[in-house]
Amino acid sequence: MNEQLVKQVLETLKEPFLHKTLKELEAIQEISIKEEKNHVSVKVAISKTGTPEQLQLQQLIVKKLKEAGAETVGLRFVELPEEVVRKYYQPTSDDSILSNQKTTFIAIASGKGGVGKSTVSVNLAVSLARIGKKVGLIDADIYGFSVPDMMGITKRPVVRGEKIIPVERFGVKVISMGFFVEDNAPVVWRGPMLGKMLNNFFQEVEWGDLDYLLLDLPPGTGDVALDVHSMLPACKEIIVSTPHPTAAFVAARAGAMALKTNHEILGVIENMSYYVSKETGVKEYIFGRGGGEKLAQELQVPLLGQIPLQQPDWNDEDFAPSVYQEDHLIGEIYKQMAEKVAQLLPNPS
């Protein structure tokens, strides 16, 4: 490998936002080669960093350089100078989901992890689709993304023009950080990068006309939750808790944050409410009782539903380990909750 070959390989690749070649933009800023290890390091400038498009370009650059003979590749992305971006950028009208007046945003929040918030998000989204609503789901838990796996999604989104097309499963359009990392790799970004990624999920994804866009938030009241509150001032919220008094106490923090930022809380969902013994048919309250009801009273909102502990029925041919069938006992509870949510939000067409 030598510098000339690296340039030759990369110069014809296109910057993902300005659609000009890296050569035209003079975007290949540094190249260094360690010959003894056959390691190539490249610094590349693009117009927006921390985006799905950057990840796709990164994968393409690594692939091309390895095909050309590099053993290992190091990449660093920086942003192009403003004057270069202005020169080539062609603004388009804002057709992002944020400008769609018909779409209602619903954040699914919890005070702590381990209460089944993602399971609730997935099944509520699927149940809303089953009652005829047009639904999208953002896996906004960027560190702990799990929605693709829970829904049995094996495909990746495709890019059409300047937009990412979300993956559709069970009638729900889905986007997740999990689509943009390889081999379940950890995400080691700091707060500002998370906000940038979340904003791209709104701006760069072709959602189409949706009635509801659900956001599976990370637990707690950290950076991503704050970003959602600032980006979506009219967002509604559903708080998920378990019946345990401590879980409900911690979930109250998420509720208090919603109220402070003028987000309307639609209600509380109590997960893992009880377990029905197959031997006796008796309800066993293994996590205690009353937490969800107490939380709903404290927040002055309805208790939308109480979900018992029970696994979905797994189908090896259509595997989705966390989605309950429509005729499953818990699937029916989710459908009832979806109908309540639709009644509380009658505006979307």
The pLDDT, as a whole number, for residue 45 is 93
Higher pLDDT, 246 or 277: 277
Residue 257, CA distances (Å) to 254, 260, 263 in order: 5, 5, 8
Mean pLDDT of 194-210: 81
List pLDDT tens digits, range 88-112: 866 444 557 777 778 999 999 887 7
Contacts 24+ apart (CB under 8 A), 246-251: 247/111, 247/112, 247/115, 247/287, 247/291, 248/291, 248/292, 248/294, 248/295, 249/111, 250/111, 250/112, 251/110, 251/111, 251/112, 251/115, 251/295
List pLDDT tens digits, range 116-135: 899 999 999 999 999 999 99
Q: Which CATH architecture fits 97-344?
A: 3-Layer(aba) Sandwich (3.40)
The lowest-confidence range among 1-10, 37-46, 251-260, 299-308 is 251-260
Would you list the domain boundaries of the chain? 3-88, 97-344
Please, what is the average pLDDT of the chain? 84
CATH of the structural domain 3-88, one choice from 3.30.70.1450, 3.30.70.360, 3.40.50.300, 3.30.300.130: 3.30.300.130
Alpha-carbon dihedral of residues 247, 253, 257, 262, nearest 10 degrees? Answer: 70
The interaxial angle of helices 3-10 and 52-67, nearest 10 deg, is: 130
Are 3-88 and 97-344 in the same CATH fold?
no
The lowest-confidence range among 42-56, 83-97, 320-334 is 83-97
Mean pLDDT of 56-66: 91
